[in-house]
Amino acid sequence: MNALDVNSSSPHLSGPHSVTRVMGLVLVALLPGTLAMQWYFGWGVIINITLAVSSAVLAEAAVLALRGRPVSHTLIDLSAVVTGWLLALALPPLLPWWQTVLGSTFAIVVAKQLYGGIGFNPFNPAMAGYVLLLVSFPVTMTRWLPPDVISGAAPTLTESLHMIFSGMPPDGQTWDAISRATPLDLMRTELAQNRMISEIRASPLWGDYGGRGWEWVGNWFLLGGLFIIWRRVISWRIPVAMLGSLLLVAGLFWAIDPETHPFPAFHLFSGGAILGAFFIATDPVSAATTPRGQLVYGALVGVFVFVIRSWGGYPDAVAFSVLLMNMAAPTIDYYTQPRIFGQRGRDDA
């Protein structure tokens, strides 16, 4: 009578959700922050995104074809786009193009597809790509631009294209003249030279409560993050736990010694903390999934971010912390299984 598979089980209804929709909403939520970054750091941001996204999609398509999997069917889940985009947001705006492509390809091929593709990767692919680049190319990877509010103007489109594709500063200029450390980097190096926070605060890189420019980028990402919480793409638990624990630990140390530990808001609004809390640590595939587990996971990411920023060898720490906790996620899940309905057997009669 009909060609339907009668053996298929109930429910015969399915909801409006789909992976494509989830990823699409994430992309929408990334837009405000992305535009803010472009505003402060120039065209390099957009060029990076274009490079990273297209190489991520190409890499995904190539691997899928090689593995004999349906290509277009998988690509429209948009997960490769999200990975490339997130990676690009973490990269310095003028990174040589081939490094961006390399990082993005590595993220997809090694960190995602070699583990079996979406859903099977134990590590956040974008952060795996980022860490690879950071470890391999420490010089270019820490060469950030100052926000245009300091430098007067961000590089133009042609300047950016030139620098990214040639890997050279414009004629007659040096990298040192153009680039600047990130506020976090500055904080580290200055503190290492035993400067006081009050002196460091005098730097033009310091804004009202975070790094100048960075604080607004953070605000816009925060808006996007709230949007996906509202649309229930992610739960509030990981971001709140992560930012909360970061604030708490940073606040504690700041209270003890405000001259060697920056004001807690600085931690939130100077690097990748906001982006990381809402968009990276929440990557469902590699994060913890049980409600209590998410709180534990988020809180530990926050603590690690502070620890690595304060005493580790790298200026920012979101990527490392997330990857570290990715490893712990299955264990956290295992020990934080929720009590099921009927396990309490509440006997109040």
Q: Which spans of this chain sit near another protein (rule: CB under 8 A)?
A: 1-2, 4, 6-15, 17-19, 21-22, 68-74, 77, 79, 116-120, 235, 284-285, 287, 289-291, 333, 337-349
Q: Rounded to the nearest 5°, which phi and psi values hold at 144?
A: -90, 165
| CB-based contacts of 337, cutoff 8 Å, min separation 6 | 290
Minimum CB–partner distance for residue 260 and another protein (Å): 40
Minimum CB–partner distance for residue 2 and another protein (Å): 5
Cβ proximity to another protein, 1 vs 192, nearer residue: 1
Cβ proximity to another protein, 68 vs 152, nearer residue: 68
Residue 144 forms beta bridges with which residues? Answer: 180
Minimum CB–partner distance for residue 233 and another protein (Å): 8
Q: Which amino acid is at 321?
A: S
Cβ proximity to another protein, 313 vs 345, nearer residue: 345
Q: Which amino acid is at 68?
A: G
Rounded-to-integer distance, Cα 315 and Cα 187, Å: 8
Minimum CB–partner distance for residue 284 and another protein (Å): 4
Helices and strands (DSSP H and E) totals, the chain: 18, 0
Cβ proximity to another protein, 100 vs 113, nearer residue: 113
| CB-based contacts of 97, cutoff 8 Å, min separation 6 | 47, 51, 164, 165, 167
Rounded-to-integer distance, Cα 296 and Cα 288, Å: 9
Cβ proximity to another protein, 39 vs 115, nearer residue: 115
Cβ proximity to another protein, 82 vs 197, nearer residue: 82
Minimum CB–partner distance for residue 181 and another protein (Å): 36
CB 262 within 8 A of CB 305: no
Minimum CB–partner distance for residue 132 and another protein (Å): 23
Rounded-to-integer distance, Cα 318 and Cα 205, Å: 20
